[in-house]
Structure 1
Amino acid sequence: MNFKNPIIPKSSTFVGEKKALDYEAICIFAATGFFLDEDTYYKDQKALKPAFEYELQEDEKKTISEKPYFKWHYTPVERPLSEIVTEFAHLFETIIKEQVGDKKVILPLSGGLDSRTQAAALYHLGNNVNAYSYAFDGGHDETYYAKKIAKSCNFPFQDWKIHQGYLWNKIEKLAQINQCYSEFTHPRQMAFVEEYATLGDIFSLGHWGDVLFDDMGVAEDLSIDKQVKIIAKKIIKKGGLELAKTLWKTWKLEGDFEKHLSNRIEVLLRKIDIPQSANAQIRAFKSLYWAPRWTNTNLSIFESVRPITVPYFDNRMCEFICTVPEKYLAGRQIQIEYLKMRMPDLAKITWQDHRPFNLYYYHWNKMPFNLPYKIYSKIKRKMLPKKIIQRNWELQFVGKENDAALQKCLFENESFQELIPKDVVVSFYDKFTNKDAVYYSHPVSMLLTLSLFAKQKI
């Protein structure tokens, strides 16, 4: 059987057998929230690498041969920004047209640029679209700008509230869908998994546009050593390093966890080998190892309901990015100019990350121009009658009912206690409860995920 894995796959394909656990890989998972490179929970099972062609022995789930067909590179072709935007418009709209055809499209919207750019393309192409967005119950109205975008495009719009404890009655279903390859406080889309089917026939998802169409914020000549440190800092979550080091010690693994992770990152970076552009190299690293093993894991939730399309994942988009000079990728210029060209009304809607400015005036989001809005926002926050919910875990872990459900998963699972000693779990739960909930929310979420993994023996 021949298999060609996309440059950025929508889902992971695993080969090999589920035998001995790979404790080193699980430690990296605990620190970062995703498995790195080919790693899985098991030593003898591997995830197929992006941009590789494989010959598989299907009955034994083994690879007979493998070879890369694409290597990330930086081969900039100098041309005016206007020409690049025209190229992007043609490519992006061609990809979307091919992906969705004449099906009714389900479009998640936010106040950012990726889904807004999709909205402009779908509107231009004349597609039948149902849009939606959601906000935390007791949080900021994250649907505010999404509604404006949908209205400007004449898309029907559904807004939802994510309520406290939304996950507990669906957590085992989620474990089956994503196979416990992502921590459980991130997949907010699980709150509405029963409703999606009523909206349309196919999803068009905006994932990864913000990575491909921006720089990485580093000097082009940044050394490999410094790139390793930056990537490690980006991928290790708060409290994740402490949890990983504790598990490393608990499982009596050789060496030092931090050195192990740094060495892994450095080896993978050197394989990419784009010496003329640190930004391109870090973008390639994220696209090779972050997108396929973190971003795509919870795409499986959408796919459990309706087929999914991800235009920014398309091989042609990855090839296009390699030809664009970094100076035009920096600051999201291509998407911004595309929106101005294709649908100025969308460009006039506030860019959420640069409130209160839109795509024509976002450059003014600096002192002293943004001072009045900063003062207004501070006064508004102080006048609120109660604390605003800002984080996923607050809906899932805070409150008596949530705490009871969390404790049941952490402390009433014998299979989990065989994997991680109870005293380790108690220690991190106590730190989350009594010391610093923000810092220790990630370790608790990872322990919850590992508890479900142990229970379901996926």
Structure 2
Amino acid sequence: MPTLRTPIIAIQQEFAKVHAPHELDKKAICIFTATGFFLDTDTYWKDQKVLSSASENRIDDNGFLIESKPWFQWHYSPRNISFETALEEFTSLFEKIISEQLQNNNVILPLSGGLDSRTQAVALAKMKNQVTSYSYSFKGGFSESEIAKKIAKTCGFNFEEFTIEPGYLWPKLNALAGINNCYSEFTHPRQMAVLEEFNKMDGVFSLGHWGDVLFDRGAPEGTTEAELLETILKKIIKKGGLELAEALWQEWELEGDFNTYFRERIAELLNTLKIENPSAKLRAFKSLYWAPRWTSVNLCVFEAAHSITLPYYDTRMCEFICTIPEAYLADRKLQIEYIKQQNPQLATITWEEQRPFNLYSFQKNKAPNNIPYRIGNKLKRTLKEKMGKPYIQRNWELQFLGMENDEQLQKRIFSENLHPLISKPLLAKFYNNFKTVDAVTYSHPLSMLLTIAVWNTNFRNK
């Protein structure tokens, strides 16, 4: 009887059968529509589950899950060490992990204006691997590539810049469905827009996912259990998601009400974590239930082109995090000091989240120091909009705004035979709310309805 052991943070979804009716798990789908990812081990079906992260699973010859038990428990066991010692240990471990993961391969490095990929760039600049870096920006949006280009130049990396065009998804929609099996809403994996360009590159991806969670504050000290629950709900429920989930729950005539069911599910999962520190507990919750079912799902888009490596997902990194005092992890301290110590020039480049400030000056990002930049940025955006060039900030704006996008959207949602799974009046309500009430709030429900429509066409009867 085979045993399958999953990583602490699973990169791929591993499925197994369970003894249950072969029916849609409509409660699970409601959570999916509220958050954009399936919770815990849920799937579209009652008789199919995803194996938990950090678990050992006995599976019989017919693919049924017999037993599942954890082999790793997230914990908070801070050692009595200085920040300097923690930084030395992180430096050694991080560079060792990257070196072992990449070996002598050429490297493909996605670069952003943030800290995770910049931290990787520091390590890679010290190695002999040939690095091809790239970045992409939305057409009509903030030029994230400008920061990435400066990082690449400082490190001596090759650099390619891509622009994500409006409507890129529609001709690639079915291909994306085949890659992620509709386990993520479709407006987020912008890497799909440049998949053909990825195929032309040579090397192994070094991806910086999850560094921002491991190396930052989870929740403020003193946060109570009740407050922690509310924090999680606020973080994972998308705008408009609760409204769509409640509407589907009522339409499907499910027992009870969605909000109560969902809160009880989250509270139950939270209670399984025997961690007193609220910051560490929130980080553990995210790593167990958010990373593998949200962040990891679209890693398969990168993997469709080349092998992937993830230094922040490494078992040793997760174990290391559990032993570091929260005060050292909070506010990205370790990553910031690593960059400043190992490559001071990279630290002088703008930090996108704190623009126009860098790693030496970001503490100044408050009034009155940041007022001139904010005024100037606002004026630029206003001028562009007056010239008929909307400022693009979010993925869905490239996919849902404009006549051609609208035509494709309506075709997918209203013509893919979603009825009777989802009634036409419900579809029309959320579509019309997006068009006439609030596009920002209703973009997520629209994206979820699109995802379910594509899943219904491609997978439901297979």
Q: How does the TM-score come out when normalised to structure 2? A: 0.96
Q: 2:40 aligns with which of 37, 40, 44?
A: 37
Which runs of 5 or more structure 2 residues have no equivalent in the other structure?
Answer: none
1:387 and 1:404 map into 2 onto residues whose CA distance is 20
The farther-off stretch of 312-321 and 192-201 is 192-201
The aligned amino acid for 1:183 is E
The residue aligned with 1:339 is 339
Aligned counterpart, 1:316:
316
The alignment partner of 2:65 has SS state of strand
Give the SS at the match of 1:143: helix
Structural mapping, 1:349-364, within 5 Å: 349-364=349-364
Deviation at 1:229, TM superposition (A): 1.0
Once the two structures are TM-superposed, the CA of residue 370 in structure 1 deviates from its matched residue by 2.0
TM-score by length of 1: 0.97
Is the contact between residue 74 and residue 322 of structure 1 (CA under 8 Å) also seen in structure 2?
yes
Task: Give 1:121-200 correspondences, 5 Å limit.
Answer: 121-200=123-202
Q: Which residue of structure 2 lines up, in the alignment, with residue 408 of structure 1?
A: 411
Q: Does 1:22 align with 2:25?
A: yes
> Structure 1 residue 411: deviation in Å?
0.9
SS of the equivalent of 1:53 reads strand
RMSD, aligned CA: 1.2
1:434 CA drift (Å): 1.3
Matched to 2:298, the amino acid is N
- Quick one: which amino acid aligns to residue 170 of structure 1? K
CA distance in 2, matches of 1:311, 1:62: 32
Deviation of 1:372 (Å)? 2.6
The one-letter code matched in structure 1 to 2:271 is R
The answer to whether the 8 A contact 1:205-1:311 is kept is yes
Confirm or deny: 8 A CA contact 1:77 1:323 kept in the other structure: yes
Distance 1:200 1:119 in 2: 18
Give the Å deviation of 1:380: 2.7
Q: Which residue of 2 aligns with 1:102?
A: 104
Which residue, out of 90, 93, 96, partners 1:91? 93
The offset of 1:262, in angstroms, is 0.6
Aligned equivalents of 1:181, 1:393: Cα separation in 2: 17
Instruction: Give the C-alpha shift of residue 364 in structure 1.
Output: 1.2
Which secondary structure does the structure 1 equivalent of 2:68 belong to? strand
Tell me what 2:370 maps to.
370
Number of aligned residues: 454
One-letter amino acid of the counterpart of residue 176, structure 1: G
Shift in Å, 1:256: 1.2
Q: Which amino acid aligns with 2:100?
A: E
Task: Give the C-alpha shift of residue 194 in structure 1.
Answer: 1.0
Q: What secondary structure does 2:296 align onto?
A: helix
Alpha-carbon offset, residue 381 of structure 1: 2.7
Partner of 1:114: 116
Match of residue 434, structure 1, among 426, 436, 442: 436
Partner of 2:69: 67
**CA drift at 1:305:** 1.1
Displacement of 1:224 in angstroms is 1.4
Between 1:75-84 and 1:245-254, the stretch displaced more is: 75-84
Q: Distance in 2 between matches of 1:424 and 1:379?
A: 39
Paired with 1:119 and 1:338, the residues of 2 have a C-alpha distance of: 11
The ranges of structure 1 where at least 4 consecutive aligned residues each deviate by more than 3 angstroms after the TM superposition are none
Q: Structure 2 CA distance, aligned partners of 1:113 and 1:236? A: 25
| Alignment partner, residue 273 of structure 2 | 272
Match of 2:230 in 1: 229
8 A contact 1:124–1:342 mirrored in 2: no
Q: Distance in 1 between matches of 2:115 and 2:199?
A: 25
Which sits farther off after the overlay, 358-367 or 240-249? 358-367
| Equivalent position of 2:426 in the other structure | 424
Residue 445 of structure 1 corresponds to 447
Q: CA deviation at 1:292?
A: 0.3
In structure 2, give the amino acid aligned to 1:104. N
* Alpha-carbon distance in 2 for matches of 1:430, 1:360: 47
Distance in 2, Cα, partners of 1:19 & 1:109: 43
The whole-number CA distance in structure 2 between the counterparts of 1:307 and 1:28 is 31
For residue 137 of structure 1, report the CA deviation from its aligned partner: 1.1
Task: Give identity over the alignment, percent.
Answer: 54
Residue number in structure 2 paired with 1:325: 325
1:306 paired residue number:
306
The offset of 1:101, in angstroms, is 0.9
